[in-house]
Amino acid sequence: MWMRGSEVVANKTKRIPSVFTVSLVFCSLLAVTEIVAKSNTLLTANADAVKILKDRLHYPELPAEIQARIKNMSASQPMVGLEADTAMAREWGLASIGFFDVFTRLVKPAKPQILDCSPKVTVAVIDTGVDYTHPELKNNVWINRGETGAWEPSKELAAKGYAYKCRDKSCNGIDDDGNGYVDDVVGWDFVHDIPLPFDTHGHGTHIAGIIGGSAANGMGTSGVCPNVSLMSLKYYDNSGSGYNNLTNTVRAIEYAVANGAHIINYSGGGSEPAPSERAAVELARRKGVLFVAAAGNDGRNNDKIPYFPASYPLDNIVSVASVNKLNHLLPSSNFGRTVHLAAPGLMILSTLPGGKFGTMSGTSQATAFASGAAALLASQGEKWDYHKVKKYLVDGAKPLSLSGEKAVIAGGLLSIPNSLEGQIAARSSENASIAAKDAVPKKPTL
Ligand SMILES: [Ca+2]
Ligand SMILES: [Ca+2]
């Protein structure tokens, strides 16, 4: 079949994670790592996740080490709970976005108008997969309820001699919820087309931890929205072709939209547009999904040389640049009037596969901070509306001296307190106008 010009372009297009440095600091960095090593109860999870994962050992694509870890997961146990997270002080990003102005060190709201992050909010992490067995992430795994629960083969199937080892919807080999994916309980691995989107790279797990790592469990740090539901969608394979990574990106976006994600985090991209990808982000827009995307790490102006998907001119996209501790744009970060926000992106401490922690840098990490903030705003009891949440993020940004062409639309840095205050103010002004309308008499009083 002949390909149209645009599809030839798509063939060359690469979609790669927007990270530029990785520091996999394992055993020596943190006391956290020692805790992980000593405890035999850290691989506990909610009962669903334990059952689901244990039933998945027959997937040969997973490395033996990971299969062994899943096999050794223990049954659900109470979390250690309500203990300040040991590494929180080392993670400068949360402090930089004003997180501790509105949340305590146990990540409880410091003001009565502010609500906790809600598990009803779902963020799809379209990335290299996620280590959903990580002690910081396992309690925040999105579960597809259409693929859980006891199951028995029908009499017809049994009569045909079908032998089912698994008597649960999560592993019966049937697409119980009819969404086109068999046994997709925690998301999907589009690279291998299997239901286990496990991360063997590190990038996706790092991103997931910034968005929604657990708080007050005495280890690691905290995500910006530490109770959010994290849907894991693996699109990236570093040995795969650019075309495959793009195709898998499109499928992952479509999955996220069809399966209830409010926010999509896409910490990746490439320099060439692709009609199929744009159509998928437009679909997300029509379905009311916010698409938070990395501005890219080429150190250039996206207004002149765009970076996709961040640069598609769609109003559900939030494009994010990265800054350091001094609020200077990283030299590697893209910028421009088509970039919405800046967020922390240098040496960010977060989760890594295997129960580990380490730092990574780039607009990928900045993007995850913005997604976490969007999830927090979505948790405040207001009807979900991506327009509003994007506005709170952009209007609430803290002005920085990003000048000239290096400015971004918001004029600066993601600010959790400002965005939450903007949301509270908008809500009270809406309530006031409703009250004023109610106060108007229905008939003139003569
Ligand atoms: Ca399904
Ligand atoms: Ca099933």
pLDDT of residue 218: 82
332 is catalytic: no
Q: Among 49-53, 158-162, 166-170, 258-262, name the one with the lowest average pLDDT.
A: 49-53
For residue 170, how far is its CA from the centre of ligand 1 (angstroms)?
Answer: 9
Q: How far is the CA of 178 from the centre of ligand 1 (A)?
A: 5
Reported as type and span, the H/E element at residue 339 is none
Is the per-residue pLDDT at 246 higher than 70? yes
Under the banding of pLDDT at 50, 70 and 90, the label for residue 10 is very low
User: For 201-217, what is each residue's pLDDT tens digit?
Assistant: 899 999 999 999 999 88
User: 95 in a domain, yes or no?
Assistant: yes
Phi-psi region of 354 (alpha: psi -120 to 50; beta: other; left: phi over 0): left
Ligand nearest to the CA of 167: 2
Q: Which residue has the tokens 């997604």?
A: 371
**Does a structural domain hold residue 240?**
yes
Question: Taking 50 as the threshold, does the pLDDT of residue 188 lie above it?
Answer: yes
Return mean pLDDT, the chain: 83
Given this model, what pLDDT does residue 50 score?
54
pLDDT of the residue at 77 = 45
Number of structural domains (the chain) is 1
Separation CA 78–CA 46 (nearest Å) = 9
- Give the pLDDT score at 60: 54
Indicate the pTM of the whole model: 0.86
**pLDDT (average), residues 173-183:** 93
Length reported for the chain:
446
**The predicted structure's pLDDT at residue 441:** 57
Ranking 34-48, 224-238, 344-358, 365-379 by mean pLDDT, the lowest is: 34-48
Query: Residue 81 above 80 pLDDT?
Result: no
* R_g of the chain computed on alpha carbons: 22
Q: Are strands 290-294 and 317-323 parallel, antiparallel or unpaired?
A: parallel
Per-residue pLDDT band at 303 (split at 50, 70, 90): very high
pLDDT, tens digit (0-9, with 9 covering 90-100), for 83-97: 777 787 788 999 999
Counting residues of the chain whose pLDDT is more than 90, the rounded percentage is 57
**Contact between 386 and 289 (Cβ < 8 Å):** yes
**Span from the CA of 130 to the centroid of ligand 2 (angstroms):** 21
User: Catalytic site residue 127?
Assistant: yes
Q: Is residue 73 one of the residues assigned to a domain?
A: no
Active-site residue (options: 134, 201, 203, 340): 203
CA angle, corner 77, sides to 72 and 82, nearest 5? Answer: 125
Cα–Cα distance, 309 to 198 (Å, whole number): 24
Is 76 a known active-site residue?
no
State in Å: Cα 53 to ligand 2 middle.
13
Ligand that comes closest to the CA of residue 259: 1
One-character DSSP codes across 83-148: B--TTGGG-HHHHHTTHHHHB-TT--BSSTTPPPP-TTSEEEEEES---TTSTTTGGGB---GGG-
Active-site residue, from 55, 127, 183, 237: 127
Let me know if residue 58 belongs to a domain: no
- pLDDT for residue 36: 29
pLDDT value for 162: 63
Q: Flag whether 390 is in a domain.
A: yes
Q: What is the pLDDT of residue 72?
A: 64
Closest CA to 291 of 360, 188, 389: 389
Measure 133 CA to ligand 2 centroid, in angstroms: 21
Return the DSSP state at 13.
Answer: -
Q: Which residues contact 295 (CB under 8 A, 6 or more apart)?
A: 18, 302, 307, 310, 319, 320, 321, 322, 333, 334, 335, 339, 363, 366
Which CATH number covers residue 253? 3.40.50.200
CA geometry: angle 309, 312, 313, nearest 5 deg: 155
Ligand 1 centroid distance, CA of 177 (Å): 5
> Which listed ligand is nearest to 146 at the C-alpha?
1
Give the per-residue pLDDT at 45.
Answer: 40
What is the average pLDDT across 175-196? Answer: 93
Nearest ligand to the C-alpha atom of residue 174: 2
pLDDT at position 67, please? 66
Is pLDDT larger for residue 160 or for residue 319?
319
Question: Taking 70 as the threshold, does the pLDDT of residue 266 lie above it?
Answer: yes
Give the Cβ contact number of residue 58 at 10 Å: 10
Residues spanned by the domain of 125: 5-26+82-140+188-436
Q: Which two tokens stand for residue 56?
A: 């998945």
Asked whether residue 150 is domain-assigned, the answer is: no
pLDDT over 80 at 390, yes or no? yes
Say how far residue 395 (Cα) sits from the centre of its chain. Answer: 22
C-alpha span between 149 and 176 (Å, rounded):
10
Span from the CA of 128 to the centroid of ligand 2 (angstroms): 23
Question: What's the first-to-final CA gap in the chain, in angstroms?
Answer: 78
Q: Which of 364, 371, 415, 419 is catalytic?
A: 364
Give the pLDDT of residue 176.
94
Segment 33-80, tens digit of pLDDT: 322 222 323 333 444 555 555 555 455 556 666 666 666 655 444 444
**Does residue 354 belong to any structural domain of this protein?**
yes
